[in-house]
Structure formats: C-alpha cells, structure tokens
Amino acid sequence: MTAILTTKNVTKRFGGLVAVNSVDFQIPDQSIVSIIGPNGAGKTTFFNCITGFGKPDEGEIIFEGAPIHGLRADQISHLGVSRTYQNIRLFAEMTALENILVGQHTFLHASWISAVLGLPSVRKEEKDALNEAKRLLDFVGLKGHGDTLARNLPYGAQRRLEIARALATRPKLLLLDEPSAGMNPSESEDLTVFIRRLRDEVGITILLIEHHMRVVMGISENITVLDYGEKIAEGSPKEIQSNPRVIEAYLGRGAATEGMEDAHERHQKKGG
C-alpha cells in the first residue's frame, strides 16, 4: 500500500523545548491511523506541523509525493488535508450551514464583482454549495440544525459539525484531534462507526489523536506512540498494548504488568 503522507525527521522546537523530535511516520492510503501518547507528548504540535499551523524546524512532510512543509495552511487545505480541533474551534457566531459553507470556500469561484452583480452563474454556484452543505449536515446527523448558531449547538453536535466543516474541504486525509473527548461510551461507539464509514464509503484516510483506548484499539489499523516528542513505538493495536515502553511512558517504571485500558483510565483521572 502506498503512503499518502510521509514525515521524515520532523522536529519542532519552542525555545528550548523540543515538542516534536525527529519523527518519521507514514500513513498508508485509505487507512485509519492513530497517534497516542501522554499529555504533552507533542501530538497536537505534530498535527499543527502537518496542517501548516506551525512550520517544522527540521524535516520533511510529503503529501501524495509532494513536499508540503513550508506551505501556508490554506494551500495545504487545498491539496486535501483537513482537520478538527482538540478544543472545538467552530465559527461561533455563524450558523451551522455557514460554517460548512466556509469549508467549501476553495471550490467556489465567484469573484466579488460577479457576486455584487448577482450573475446567474454565482446564484447557481451558491445554490449548489448550499445543497452540498445541507447534504453534509445530514451526513453527520445534524439535519434541521442548519440555521442554529454554532455556539448554541450542544457539545456533541458541535463536534460533528466540525467534522462536517472539515469534510466540506473534500479532504483526502482527515486529521481528527481527540474527536471523542467528552463523549459517553455510546456516543464514542457511534463515532467509531462514523469514522469507519468515512473511510469505507467516502474513501478518506484518517489520522486520529485519541485518548479513549476503546476507540483507538477498536478502529486503528496502526498506532504510533509519542512521548516527550519522540516516537517510542509503532504497530498494530495488539503490539502496542503489550509494548513495555508504551506502558512505561504512560505509567512510569514498574507498572508494565497492568492492563493498558485500566492504566490509561487511571492516568486520565489523575491528569484531569
């Protein structure tokens, strides 16, 4: 299987702190891959490097054979990389539909002059865009909430709207930053099913940051573990579950005999 995204030796520093340290990483096309690691391991920073939020200090990021490090975020989005955010970042004062319409920005071509003149081509384009936005809203299960302001949607719906907005950019690779945060078990179960559908039906490659081990172990084909910015392990869910270095990273030395699931939950409680 070919890799849709390859990172080579990616390093990101904040002053003296090395947030991401020389990470080599590959995502096979049409796969579901997770990045896990304790809080502060550099997962989100790694996401930011890929999506152009902060340029890596060293290393290369290759998307579909072309380097994308050094490109602006909008250019990267244009190539087909989209993301959601750990702490939801919707356009709070815009409606759900408007949020999705912004996601379609790149695919609309009306200049401001033709928009002012109200040319028929602009009207058609807007109409099509609105239909597409409604379709995406249905797809994430938010039918009928189109005119609600994003800030007034319930938490779970906001998460789904963020995914719909990311899908509107027609990504080939979708990065989800803790999509199940704050969800109850049945909601995260729905999410798992939904993520699989994205891959199987729409054909999008998925990269996840996730803390819920049930979700991670349930859907990932491959897991990469980061700790203090470094990649410490990589492999299938089974391999990761039994990897002593991973368990050590999560719990410290001597706890390697405990089950991953319990250990992680305890860690979560301690942390927050």
User: In the beta sheet, which residues pair with residue 235?
Assistant: 223
Q: How many CB atoms lie within 10 A of CB 269?
A: 8
* Cα–Cα distance measured from residue 168 to residue 129, given in angstroms and rounded to the nearest whole number: 10
Distinct helix (H) and strand (E) counts, the chain: 11, 10
- The residue among 178 and 227 lying less far from other proteins, judged by its C-beta, is 178
Q: How many CB atoms lie within 10 A of CB 201?
A: 9
Could you tell me the smallest distance in angstroms from the CB atom of residue 98 to other proteins? 6
Q: Which of 251, 246, 245, 254 is nearest to 265 (CA)?
A: 251
- The residue among 21 and 84 lying less far from other proteins, judged by its C-beta, is 84
- Matching residue, tokens 């902060």: 54
- The residue among 116 and 202 lying less far from other proteins, judged by its C-beta, is 116
- The residue among 151 and 238 lying less far from other proteins, judged by its C-beta, is 151
For binding to other proteins (CB under 8 A), which residues are involved? 51-53, 72-74, 76-78, 82-83, 85, 89, 91-95, 98, 101-103, 105-106, 108, 110, 112, 115-116, 118, 122, 126, 147-149, 151-155, 165-166, 168-169
Could you tell me the smallest distance in angstroms from the CB atom of residue 151 to other proteins? 7
Could you tell me the smallest distance in angstroms from the CB atom of residue 19 to other proteins? 17
Count CA atoms closer than 13 A to 81's CA, side-chain side: 26
Could you tell me the smallest distance in angstroms from the CB atom of residue 259 to other proteins? 35
